[in-house]
């Protein structure tokens, strides 16, 4: 996805709000000027918004040590909150009357768990939306036919995770996928962008034992910038399942003919315009990219 003019402002706000409460006066000034320098010139028709986010956020990580300690605590609590809901969520998925409905319920829960707000979270995520879906039913949770057919036809799936806590609900999707027979490679971040899922979070939910392979990505997965086992995983899979806004920004219009399923909650104008959805809407759909996949 190419960045729009407002994306630079949004990116600054997203990172600055997370870092500022943990920075002294000198660091606060340095964060602002460093990010401006990193973003300057990056809002172009050729840029990848996920790649721009990687560049901007990594530029200020030297000032993020105290923030990272804070977020590790929030991540752990988010994981615990999610884990407490998993048994009820799993029962809800398995009660789907058909395999397609069970898959749709799992995907809808995973997408609805994508709750990370634009500004700095005040506490761990509690996933009230998930509780409401489970207890009140799931109108509109059936996946489109093209999504289900893409999954049924895949033998090798690359699943790109997003945040801590919500990765527990990704495990429900992976459980259903495993019943359908494909091998699954899970991509998680080498180091965190604040609340992002890393290896410890995947292990907390036993995902390291559920998938055939677990690969580490430095930031958001941008196909044209992939190397090593990440590039090999992209080239070797039949289907990519992308979780969250950041992965959508990195993968949209970058996959060529390779099918891409996106699961997220729409949180901003540019993604709303790209997807045709409304802000706040939960999306599980097959992306329709145009440009060639470069790996």
CB neighbours of 276 closer than 8 A, spacing ≥ 6? Answer: none
For the chain, what is the mean pLDDT? 89
DSSP 163: B
Residue 120 has pLDDT above 80, yes or no: no
Tokens of 257: 């003919």
Residue 168 has pLDDT above 70, yes or no: yes
- The band of 138, judged by pLDDT with boundaries at 50, 70 and 90, is low
Residue 121 has pLDDT above 50, yes or no: yes
- The band of 89, judged by pLDDT with boundaries at 50, 70 and 90, is very high
Half-sphere exposure of 191 (CA within 13 A, CB side): 9
At residue 213, φ and ψ (nearest 5 deg) are: -150, 145
Tokens of 78: 């988010």
Q: From CA 188, how far away is CA 264, in angstroms rounded?
A: 16
User: What pLDDT is recorded for position 139?
Assistant: 57
Number of CB atoms found within 10 A of residue 288's CB = 11
Number of CB atoms found within 10 A of residue 10's CB = 18
Go through the domains of the chain in sequence order and give each one's CATH number: 5-66 (no CATH), 86-286 (3.40.50.10880)
- The band of 14, judged by pLDDT with boundaries at 50, 70 and 90, is confident
User: What pLDDT is recorded for position 293?
Assistant: 40
The whole-number average pLDDT for the span 277-290 is 83
Q: What is the reported pTM?
A: 0.93
């Amino acid at each position: 996805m190419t960045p729009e003019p407002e994306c630079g402002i949004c990116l600054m706000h997203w990172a600055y709000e997370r870092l500022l409460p943990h920075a002294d006066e000198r660091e606060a000034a340095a964060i602002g000027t460093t990010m401006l320098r990193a973003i300057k010139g990056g809002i172009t028709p050729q840029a990848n918004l996920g790649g721009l986010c990687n560049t901007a956020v990594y530029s200020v990580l030297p000032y993020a040590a105290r923030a990272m300690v804070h977020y590790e605590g929030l991540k752990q609590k988010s994981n615990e909150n999610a884990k407490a809901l998993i048994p009820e969520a799993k029962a809800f998925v398995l009660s789907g009357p058909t395999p397609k409905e069970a898959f749709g319920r799992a995907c809808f829960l995973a997408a609805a768990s994508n709750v990370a707000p634009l500004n700095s979270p005040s506490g761990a995520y509690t996933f009230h939306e998930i509780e409401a879906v489970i207890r009140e039913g799931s109108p509109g949770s059936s996946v489109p036919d093209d999504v289900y057919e893409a999954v049924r036809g895949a033998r090798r799936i690359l699943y790109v995770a997003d945040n801590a806590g919500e990765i527990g609900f990704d495990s429900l999707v992976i459980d259903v996928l495993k019943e359908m027979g494909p091998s699954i490679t899970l991509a998680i971040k080498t180091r965190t962008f604040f609340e992002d899922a890393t290896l410890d979070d995947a292990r907390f939910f036993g995902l390291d034992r559920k998938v055939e392979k677990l690969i580490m990505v430095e930031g958001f997965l941008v196909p044209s910038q992939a190397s090593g086992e990440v590039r090999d995983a992209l080239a070797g899979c039949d289907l990519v399942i992308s979780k969250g806004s950041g992965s959508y920004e990195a993968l949209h219009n970058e996959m060529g003919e390779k099918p891409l399923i996106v699961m997220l909650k729409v949180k901003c104008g540019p993604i709303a315009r790209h997807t045709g959805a409304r802000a706040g809407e939960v999306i599980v759909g097959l992306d329709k990219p145009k440009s060639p996949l470069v790996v």
